[in-house]
Structure 1
């Protein structure tokens, strides 16, 4: 099977984009998971955090399905959605579109570049659900907001939220960021455990200055990544509700892959979040895949020139974090 793909990233969270809208590929459900495990393997030639399948939709401009590198399907991916937003908008010649995801149809739009020559898109993150059964989290209470879970930590306070994929968020200090605590917690709640039967994304958030936070995330099905779009969105929401930041105001969210912006909106007690950041293409490739033999070869690869512009943003972000993380 010959497959055309684009490799791109949002905030360093990298994906392979496969267009099912115009290429006529016929993948079974198991094929998509197997393709993700095969092509995303970091020890092979391509490597990525996951695959974004761009598909036709009956009620939107396009449809996104996200498969993690372990073959599992994610209900949502904010960094991936920016890449799909760019692909669909350019494919259709539009500046705005609606993308169907597993849980909701979401508005996306092209925005002014964060820095020159950095393709920038805004995507809607919703629905936002605080009910623990939406994650699910097995505790004898309906919600968890800035509270302790004693068997995870005697010190940290956690907030649980689904946007719609599940997130467990803790506001931390620099020494907690530098410790192994996040790794230990994340591996516990993503292994066999009674609290999170389906696992959970775990984010440690450090407040830097008013309007600026740093987020590091252990992603369910992936591990530590440079950035997680829904985690950055959920973290902006939590810090706004804790009055560390303000609703309706831009929050600059720094991560190991760079920087994005989030704006949290509230209407009649319900929340939505705008996630604004890069959608950078790295290369186009053609691969020949043999799923029966669990193998592939890359027959062509064309590098693109967008990454150098993004590296300027990344350097600026890293410098800012280094100056402020211990402040």
Structure 2
């Protein structure tokens, strides 16, 4: 069986994308998806996505984690699939598409390499000790951390992800250092079970948690640096609910190929 694929990355968060607009999604093979995402025995990626047709939207996004299992919303994946849809000629500069957490609006630059993706509204943030916990399409744990550059994100993130509170369903673990003019963020992702170069729903969660931490309200724009580059998050916050949430950043085609 031959599979044509496209490899995209958004700030270092990389994905295998497959065009399945010729019919409904079928022949789900989670073991194959895991193998394709493997960085030694496959293409290598943080996740895999199918794009399919939908009668009420421009397209539908189907996301699978690197472990081959269906995943919750992936923000950078959402931005990459918008760029993919533009490449396929499905959309031009704007789109409304369906993902696992509901409808999303997005706009894309003329060259197709920068995507502003609208994320879900968020009205609930809880605390776990000094950390913040919230869901931005995927569940996130946000902890402030000094000297983040030298911090062992894999060991510390894995310990939190598999502790008694979160082990059953899993949680993505974000560490953030406030640099003044920007936030520096590193993330341990469930499903990948490792640190990734970026996490879209993660940086969105971090920006919201830090706004709450600083008692900020109004229209807030946050510059964020991750291992894979720069991302921006913008939203309106009235002290209770985050609305008009946008995750903005690069989405670039790396290469295309065929798996036999």
Superposed pair shares fold, TM > 0.5 = yes
**Which residue number in structure 2 is paired with residue 46 of structure 1?**
43
Question: CA distance change for structure 1 residues 268 and 100 in 2, over 3 Å: closer, same or farther?
Answer: farther
Taking structure 2 as the reference length, what is the TM-score of the superposition?
Answer: 0.90
1:8 paired residue number: 8
Shift in Å, 1:71: 1.2
Which residue of structure 2 lines up, in the alignment, with residue 21 of structure 1? 21
Shift of 1:194: 4.1
Report SS of the residue matched to 1:275: strand
Give deviations 1:246-276, integer Å, cap 9, x for gaps: 6423211100000011102236943232011
Task: Give RMSD over aligned pairs.
Answer: 2.3
Q: CA deviation at 1:55?
A: 1.2
CA contact (8 A) 2:52 2:60 kept: yes
Which sits farther off after the overlay, 48-57 or 244-253?
Answer: 244-253
1:69 alignment partner in structure 2: 66
Residue pair 1:123, 1:276 contacting (<8 A) in 2 also = yes
What is the DSSP-based 3-state SS (H/G/I as helix, E as strand, rest coil) of the residue aligned with 1:122?
A: strand
Is residue 59–residue 97 contact of structure 2 (8 Å, CA) maintained in 1?
Answer: yes
Match of 1:99 in 2: 97
- Scaled by the length of structure 1, the TM-score of the pair is 0.72
Say which structure is richer in helix: 1
Cα pair 2:123 2:240 within 8 Å, conserved: no
Decide which of 261, 272, 287 is 2:259's aligned counterpart. Answer: 287
The reply to whether residue 219 of structure 1 matches residue 189 of structure 2 is yes
Structure 1 253/268 Cα, relative in aligned 2: closer, same or farther at 3 Å?
closer
Partner of 1:314: none
Cα shift readout 1:10-36 (whole Å, capped 9, x = no counterpart): 0101100001114x475334x1x2232
Structure 2: stretches of 5+ with no match in the other structure = none
User: Judging changes above 3 Å, is the alpha-carbon distance between structure 1 residues 184 and 61 closer, same or farther for their aligned structure 2 residues?
Assistant: same
SS of aligned partner of 2:77: helix
Give the alignment of 1:188-227 within 5 angstroms.
188-191=159-162, 193-210=164-181, 212-222=182-192, 223-227=194-198
- Alignment pair present for 1:144 and 2:126: yes
The match for 2:132 is: 159
1:104-131 deviations in Å (ceiling 9; x for gaps) = 101011147xxxx78101001114252x
Q: Distance in 2 between matches of 1:17 and 1:99?
A: 16
Q: Does 1:168 align with 2:138?
A: no
